[in-house]
Amino acid sequence: MTRSPFSTSNPLTPKEHVDGATENFRFAEWLHDSSGADSPSKERWAITLLFYSAVHYVRAYLLAEKGIVINEHKALWDLIKYDYPLINRPKGAYNFLYVASRAGRYYFKTFTKADYDDCRMKAANIRSNIESLMKKSKKS
């Protein structure tokens, strides 16, 4: 088997995860707001970027605060669902983003502006939850 030249064996730092999450969130907003990209793909990929923003915020928290590194979606979701429900507020936000991003990427679901706005709110809530949890742990 040939190893991809794009493979990486070095895990990201918490700061790199946060930086990547912020970049994904901003790019989602730019893509969503850009008038030059009027196609069904625009919302699909903006929602996918929001999901990956949430992924990296969660990974930053788990690594910085708990020393946990997870690189698989199911394992990450199981950990959030069973061990860290405070990350997932409003209840189900992370899984909602995961399902929406998969529907767009693999099944070419057409999303509306309202769908995007709902996903954006959920991603922003996850970011806020992570920031709050990290601030609390620094005070302890």
pLDDT tens-digit profile of 3-44? 555 656 668 999 999 999 999 999 999 999 886 656 778 899
Query: Interhelix angle for 40-61 vs 113-139, to 10°?
Result: 10
Is 25:18 a contact under the CB 8 Å cutoff?
Answer: no
Question: Domains of the chain: which residue ranges?
Answer: 14-139
The predicted-structure confidence for 81-103, as pLDDT tens digits, reads as follows 888 888 888 788 999 999 999 99
CATH topology of domain 14-139: Four Helix Bundle (Hemerythrin (Met), subunit A) (1.20.120)
CA–CA dist 53, 94 (Å, integer): 11
Is 33:102 a contact under the CB 8 Å cutoff?
Answer: no
Can you give the pTM of this predicted structure? 0.89
Is 89:129 a contact under the CB 8 Å cutoff?
Answer: yes
